[in-house]
Every structure is written in C-alpha cells, then in structure tokens.
Amino acid sequence: MVKDEYRMTVWPGQRVPVGRVLVVPVTVENSGSSETLGDAVSWRDVPDELYLRELMDLDLSDARAISAFTATYGVLGRMDWSLVPDPSSKRGGATDPSLIKLQRRLKREAQAWPAGERKRRMSKDAIVYHARLLRDCVRLLDARQNGGEAKLESSLRLEPAELFVPVVLNAGLTAYHVYVDLPDADLHVPYGPPRPNLYSALCLQMANHIAEAAVYRRCANESCGRLFVRQRGRAAGSRERRTEGVRFCSAGCARTQAAREYRRRKGAKGAQ
C-alpha cells in the first residue's frame, strides 16, 4: 500500500505533448571500437509507450541491439550527464558510487576524442546507464500499482526509495520548458520549441502516464507478457476508450492468442 505522503502528482496535472525528438548522427564508442549511426539531422516522432515497450525489451548486453535502437529512435542520454541525478551532491539522498567511477573513466576516454566531435559521441556504457534508470522507474511504478518487489538494474539509490522515480524523471525533464514565440514576426527568438533528447522524451512519456493515473497492464498473450497502457494498432480517436478492459498490448498479440486458444479447443475436441 502506498502511503499518502508518497503519492506522486505531476505539474501541470495533465498530459504534455512529447513532440518530436531531434536525432543527430552520433558515434557510439564501445571498448575501443566505434560505430557512426546516421548521416543527417532529422526530427522524428516518438512511438507511444516506447519506454514501456521497446526500451524494456532492449537487450542491454547486446551492442548491436543498442546500436539498432539508437539508429531508429535516437541517442539515449547525454555524455555531460545533465539529464540524470548528480550522485556526488547527495541531494535528496542520491548515492551512486559506480556512476561516479563511470563518469571519471568516460571523461578520461573522451579527452582523446577530437574537440569538435565530443558533442556527437556517446559511450555505450552511458547509454546503458540511462536506459537502466528509466527501466528501474518502470519497475518501481509497476510494483506500486500491482504489488511485488522491484528488482533494480541501476546502482542509484535514494532514501527514502519512493524518491527514485520523481528524482530521476525531474532530472530528465529539464529539456522541456514554457516558451513564448513570435511565429508571424521576422525576428529571431532565442528560445523556441524544446529540442529534447530521446531520454527526456521518454521521461515525459512516463510523467504523462503518472499525470493521468494510467494503469500498467501485462499483455495476456502467452508469448509476450510486456507491460502496456493502451493497445497499439487502434485508431488515435479510440485511444482513450481502449484503456479499460484491454488484455493485449497490440492487435497482433490479440490475434496470436486467439489463434492459439482456437487450436487448443480444436485439439481438445479431436481428442474426445
């Protein structure tokens, strides 16, 4: 049972559009080798529930899978660590000795990178760390809703533990801000729309679900079992009414399970 003082709320208390993510070519460094992903700057839509689906499915031990994820959706996090809680300040009780060591090691490695390329390089280990933080937030939210123990991947610890989700998300949400624009004026406005990193966009996806008190469900397809909120494969206009009584994360999973159960019924009749 969640104590009243630990109930999470989100300002401004409603869903905020995630918008598109700015995807730039990036060189991913991994144990002395590197791979350049992408060849042009582009804006890309972020699939609904990406943090619940593709991110949770991602094999963080598979460098090729991480590269494919990055090439498809954008780089997860920043090498300046500006989107994660500072583990050295201990603000809010945050402690993570392993991140401090990781930051120091990657800082030494980054010094060998050409100065003009440092903003477009990212370590695989840094991507993995950012991914683990978000995945741990999902596990904690799932445990709050559905019970059970959340087994965390990351080494970040906060006291009390209920601070983990708000501290992690608030750090990642700094890319979003209120702004004023002059769309009809031939003037340069030094702000403009947010240009979020994929990590920030996924933090906002999660915050939006918290704001609407969304319920995590587990797909009833026996070969899937992933967490989801709304079923994919439905028209956008039906999105809100697909939050109740939905058993499958996608129309494809619904068809697969229906076919499986049909074969079972058919086999049972044949055995009689």
Tens-digit pLDDT profile for residues 9-34: 788 888 888 988 988 889 998 887 88
- CB within 8 A of 118, min separation 6: which ones? 79, 110
Per-residue pLDDT reduced to its tens digit, 62-75: 999 999 999 999 99
Which residues make beta-bridge pairs with 29? Answer: 34, 123
Higher pLDDT among residues 65 and 154, named by residue:
65
Compute the distance between CA of residue 69 and CA of residue 208 in angstroms, rounded to an integer. Answer: 23
Examine the pLDDT at 239 and tell me if it is beyond 80: no
Taken in order 110, 114, 119, 122, is the CA torsion positive or negative? negative
Mean of per-residue pLDDT scores for the chain: 84
Residue 109's pLDDT is 80
Higher pLDDT among residues 200 and 235, named by residue:
200
Burial group, residue 78, by CB count within 10 angstroms (0-12, 13-18, 19+)? middle
Give the pLDDT band (50/70/90) at residue 124.
very high
In the chain, where are the structural domains located? 4-214, 215-272
Per-residue pLDDT reduced to its tens digit, 180-190: 766 665 655 55
At 156, the amino acid letter reads: L
Residue 90's pLDDT is 57
- For the entire predicted model, the pTM comes to 0.86
